[in-house]
Amino acid sequence: MIAKLTWRNLWRNPRRTLITMTSVTFAVLLAILMQSFQKGVFDNLVKNVVSFYHGYIQVHKKGYWDEQVLDNSFQYDDSLVMKLSRNPEIKVLTPRIETFLLASVGNSTKGCMLVGTDPVKENLLTGLKDKIVKGRYFTDNEAAVLIAEGLAGRLKLTVQDTIILLGQGYHGAMAAGKYPVRGIIHFGSPALNDGLLYMPLAQAQFFLSAENMLTSLAVGIREPEKMTAIQQLLLSEMGKEYEVMNWKELMPDIANHIKADGSSFYIFTGVLYLIIAFGIFGTILMMTAERRYEFGMLVAIGMKKLSLGKILLFETLLITLLGVITGLLISLPFVLYFSRNPLRITGEIAEAYERFGFEALFPAAVDNSILIVQSLIVLIIAFLIGLYPLWHVGRINPMLAMKK
C-alpha cells in the first residue's frame, strides 16, 4: 500500500509532476549530450595529436626524454619487439632514430630534426603517406628523404632536389651525406611543419653510424582507454633500463589544455545541476506546503514521522527516476547518431582546425559511464533534496499543522 500511496501521490497534481519530470529529463539529456560531445571531441583531439607524431606511448632508453641525444639510444631488440607485437592491444610498434642536424641547399642552411623510421610502420602509426602533398612516399631501404613543407619552403627546394645533411652521429662520429627529396609532407602543427625530415630507418642508422640503434619505439594502441594499462604492461616487460611514457607525459601542454577545458565543462554542468536542484526543490517545497494539513492528520492518527518521511523521499526519488529514465531513453539515440555522424563544422573555424591538422569534426562519444554517472548525479541530487520533507515532517506538530 505504501508503494501505491507513493505512486498515487505523484499523480495528485499531474501537471506539476510532469513539469518536474520534464525538467529532469531535459537536464539529463543536456548533461549526457554535453559530456558525450566533450569526450568525443577530446578523444578526437587526442587521436589527432598522437597521430601527428608521438603515438599514444613511447619507449626510450632511460633518461632520453630529458637529454635527447643519440648517445642515449638503445639497441633494437628484435625478439622483444616481436614479443610486444603479439599483444593484441598493441596496433603497431614503430622504431625510430631521431636527431637534430643541419640541412643545407645551396647557400641556405637550416636546423631540423631527422627521423629515421620504418616507412610501413610509420604510416600505420601516423598516416605519414597521407600527409604527402608533393612527390611520393619513400620505400623501405631507399636512400632518400621526405621533407616537411615549411622546411622545404625555407630551404627553397622541391621534389627531386638534393639536400645535404650535416651533423653528429653516434658516439661523436661525423655524419654527412646528400639525399634526393622524394616527397614533401604537410603537418598541421607549425613546429613539425618547419622542422621535420624523414628517412628510412636503415639509411638513417647508417648515416648516423648507429647501426641497429633506436631512440624511440612509438606505440600505437587499439583502444585509447587502455593506454595506462598497456603502459604498465610495457614497463614491466621492458625492464628498468627503459622509460615508457604516454602522450600526456610526452605532451603535457596538450594534456593541460584538455584538463583546463574539462574544468570549464564541470562549471557549466555544475550550473546545470544547480538549476535541476532548484527545480526539484521548488516542487518539493510546494508539495510539502500544500500537504501540511494532511501530514499533521497522518501523524495525529498514528503514522510515525519516519514512515511518512520515507514516503515523501520515495516520491521525490520516483519523480526524478522517471525523469532520468526518460532522459536516458531520449539521449541514447542522439548520442548514437552523433557518434556515427559527427557534427561537421564549416567556414573559417573549420579552416583553422584543418590548418593545424585537426579534423573539423565534433563527434559524440558512446560511453556507458557517462550515462550512469549523469543519472546517478541527478538521483543523488534528488535524494539530498528528498531529505528536506524528511526534516520537515520530523519537526511537524500535528496540532499546529492541522490549524486552518
Binding site for another protein (CB under 8 A): 1, 4-5, 8-9, 11-12, 293-294, 297-305, 307, 398-399, 402
Q: How far is the CB of 279 from another protein (least distance, A)?
A: 23
Q: How far is the CB of 9 from another protein (least distance, A)?
A: 6
Handedness of CA 158, 159, 161, 166 (dihedral sign): positive
Q: Which residues are registered as beta bridge partners of 183?
A: 135, 146
Helix (H) or strand (E) holding 264: helix 252-290
Q: How far is the CB of 300 from another protein (least distance, A)?
A: 6
* Phi, psi for 198 (deg, rounded to 5): -110, 145
Considering the complex, state which of residue 5 and residue 349 has its C-beta at the smaller distance from another protein: 5
How is residue 336 written as a grid cell?
548514437
Residue partners of 341: CB distance under 8 A and separation at least 6: none
Residue partners of 148: CB distance under 8 A and separation at least 6: 112, 184, 185, 186, 187, 192, 193, 194, 195, 196, 197
Considering the complex, state which of residue 278 and residue 293 has its C-beta at the smaller distance from another protein: 293
Considering the complex, state which of residue 279 and residue 296 has its C-beta at the smaller distance from another protein: 296
Q: How far is the CB of 399 from another protein (least distance, A)?
A: 4
* Phi, psi for 181 (deg, rounded to 5): -90, 120
Considering the complex, state which of residue 5 and residue 69 has its C-beta at the smaller distance from another protein: 5
Considering the complex, state which of residue 188 and residue 398 has its C-beta at the smaller distance from another protein: 398
Measured distance CA(157)–CA(105) in Å, rounded: 7
Q: How far is the CB of 301 from another protein (least distance, A)?
A: 5
Q: How far is the CB of 401 from another protein (least distance, A)?
A: 10
Considering the complex, state which of residue 349 and residue 399 has its C-beta at the smaller distance from another protein: 399
